[in-house]
Amino acid sequence: MSTITHHIPEPILAAYAAGALDHPFALVVATHLSLCDACRADAEAHEAVGGALLEETAPESLSAACKAQLMERLDAPHAPEPVYRRSGVYPGPVMEALKGRPPRWKRLGGGVRQTILSAGQGGSARLLYIPAGQAVPDHGHNGLELTLVLQGSFCDETGRFGVGDVEIADDTLEHTPVAGAGADCICLAATDAPLRFSSLIPRLLQPIFRI
Amino acid sequence: MSEQTRWMLAVRDHRDRAAFAALFDFFAPRLKRFVMRGGMGSGQAEEIVQEVMLTVWRKAAMFDPERAQVSSWIYRIARNRQIDKLRRENRPLPEVLAHDPGTEPDAGQVVALEQETVQLKQALGKLKPEQREMIEKAYLGELTHQQINEQTGLPLGTIKSRIRLGLERLRHELKAMRDE
Ligand SMILES: [Zn+2]
């Protein structure tokens, strides 16, 4: 695996650990943590703060039955939760978002394809497939966008991003990511608002493709 | 090794119900208050507390004292449960890191992590009330979208020493906050 050079910024890690991220962003963070021990350790340090505060929380008295009920439930049979394992370039959290199935790609034009993983009030998460050497249409953002590379690489005005790297973009960045030569690029991207494309035709397609 | 860690290892390795009851007695009332902070009523909060503690029992095999304090681990489980409940979708979680079952935990690492956590608590204890409130709100408060600012540049290292480094850095940040 290539060395990760673009990590999750600290405030986003803290927000993840504290449970304050919306689903699409939490998905990108959980996927990066599956690939990056450095950020995983930082996120776990934030959980230690949460744990320390929990220990110091004033106790609230419990109803008399609470403990006895629980002790009785300990041996109750239960179905184990499904575990989604990494499959190919897709880490466990992405496989869970795909419900264990391979992505169903939709064409966006120019060989670029996408699969929407989730879309809602808290933003949307998608997989993007960009053929080697191909550019993603020039676009800006209405809000925060996190893009994590799963296969291949891409370059834009801000640098080069390889497997495991995360690009953080906000509404000040108008960029044109181009997939590196060699391997086709697959990315996981989260946005908190639909992308707005700079050129006219992609913008007309936006409502159709939900990009 | 702390009492909590020994209880948790007894639950993990020997399915020790008395040790589990001891963990319950300490954590359940605190978890209840934590969950009620999010605006939940007493009855519903107790249901969540039961589910969290049941997960502690069922997933005990995943507890790794070299990487986490019992309280950190329970905090994570509680947040997961709250999010799953509130948003009606599973919180995305990283792949589980396998630790070798059956191997004795490295006592040096466990104790070093505990000491770092003690120092973190001391740093938390020295914050001004309004700062403490802010931190509590961020980590224990309602699960609302927070403003995120961009920041980059993180050091690298192995995961175990990094958790301690992360704790140390957080402690220094808390100290700097107090001195502002
Ligand atoms: Zn990282």
Burial B118-140 (b: 16+ CB within 10 A, else e): eebbebbeebeeeebeebbebbb
pLDDT at residue A191 above 70? Answer: yes
Bridge partners (DSSP) of residue A113 are: A107, A129
Q: What is the dihedral of CA A8, A11, A16, A19, to 10 degrees?
A: -170
Strand order in the sheet with A106-109: A106-109, A112-120, A123-130, A185-191, A145-151, A166-169
pLDDT at residue B179 above 90? Answer: no
Nearest CA in chain B to A61: B29
B48-B74-A11 Cα angle (round to 5): 105
pLDDT at residue A36 above 90? Answer: yes
What ipTM was reported for this prediction?
0.86
Categorize the per-residue pLDDT at B156 as very low, low, confident or very high, splitting at 50, 70 and 90.
very low
Categorize the per-residue pLDDT at B131 as very low, low, confident or very high, splitting at 50, 70 and 90.
confident
The Cα A74–Cα B92 span in angstroms is: 26
Q: What is the pLDDT of residue B150?
A: 29
Are the Cβ atoms of B151 and A9 closer than 8 angstroms? yes
Categorize the per-residue pLDDT at A35 as very low, low, confident or very high, splitting at 50, 70 and 90.
very high
Least confident among A81-95, A100-114, B149-163: B149-163
pLDDT at residue B123 above 90? Answer: no
In three state form, how does the secondary structure of chain A look? CCCCCCCCCHHHHHHHHCCCCCHHHHHHHHHHHHHCHHHHHHHHHHHHHHHHHHHCCCCCCCCHHHHHHHHHHCCCCCCCCCCCCCECCECHHHHHHCCCCCCCCEEEECCEEEEEEEEECCEEEEEEEECCCCECCCEECCCCEEEEEEECCEEECCEEECCCCEEEECCCCCECCEECCCCCEEEEEEECCCCEECCHHHHHHHHHHCC
Q: Determine the residue among B82, B136, B142, B163 to mutate to test chain A binding: the one whose Cβ has the most chain A Cβ atoms within 10 Å.
A: B163
**A141 or B159: which leads in pLDDT:** A141
pLDDT, tens digit, 9 for 90 and up, residues B77-119: 999 998 888 777 789 999 988 766 667 788 888 888 888 888 8
pLDDT at residue A202 above 60? Answer: no
Of B80, B140, B158, the CB nearest to A53: B140
- Count how many Cα atoms sit within 13 Å of the Cα of residue B45 in the half-sphere of its side chain: 20
Q: Among B28, B91, B88, which Cα is nearest to B54's?
A: B28
Q: What is the pLDDT of residue A136?
A: 78
Taking CB atoms and an 8 Å cutoff, what residues of chain A touch B151? 9-11
Are the C-beta atoms of B11 and B56 separated by less than 8 Å?
yes
CA-based torsion, A38, A7, A131, A125: positive or negative: positive
Are the Cβ atoms of B67 and A44 closer than 8 angstroms? yes
Categorize the per-residue pLDDT at B147 as very low, low, confident or very high, splitting at 50, 70 and 90.
very low
Of A11, A51, A59, the CB nearest to B69: A51
User: What pTM, to 2 d.p., does this model score?
Assistant: 0.86
Domain A1-211: assigned CATH number: 2.60.120.10
Q: What is the pLDDT of residue B145?
A: 41
**A121 or B74: which leads in pLDDT:** B74
What would the mean pLDDT of B143-159 be, rounded to a whole number?
Answer: 35
pLDDT at residue A193 above 80? Answer: no
As a whole-number percent, the residues of chain B with pLDDT over 90 amount to: 42
Are the Cβ atoms of A50 and B97 closer than 8 angstroms? no
Angle between helices B42-58 and B17-37 (to 10 degrees): 140
What are chain B's domains?
1-104 (1.10.1740.10), 106-143+152-180 (no CATH)
The Cα B42–Cα B109 span in angstroms is: 39
Q: What is the pLDDT of residue A94?
A: 98
A199: amino acid identity, one letter: S
Q: What is the pLDDT of residue B40?
A: 83
Taking CB atoms and an 8 Å cutoff, what residues of chain B touch A74? 17, 20, 54, 57
Q: What is the pLDDT of residue A206?
A: 44
Please state, rounded to an integer, the average pLDDT across all residues of chain B: 81
- Domain coordinates in residue numbering, chain A: 1-211
Least confident among A46-55, A83-92, B118-127: B118-127
Of A49, A73, A97, the CB nearest to B139: A49
pLDDT, tens digit, 9 for 90 and up, residues A139-187: 556 678 899 999 999 998 889 999 999 998 877 777 788 999 989 999 9
pLDDT at residue A37 above 60? Answer: yes
pLDDT at residue A76 above 70? Answer: yes
The Cα A78–Cα A82 span in angstroms is: 12
> A13 CA to middle of ligand 1, Å?
10
Nearest CA in chain A to B54: A74
Of B69, B96, B143, the CB nearest to A48: B69
Are the Cβ atoms of B148 and A12 closer than 8 angstroms? yes
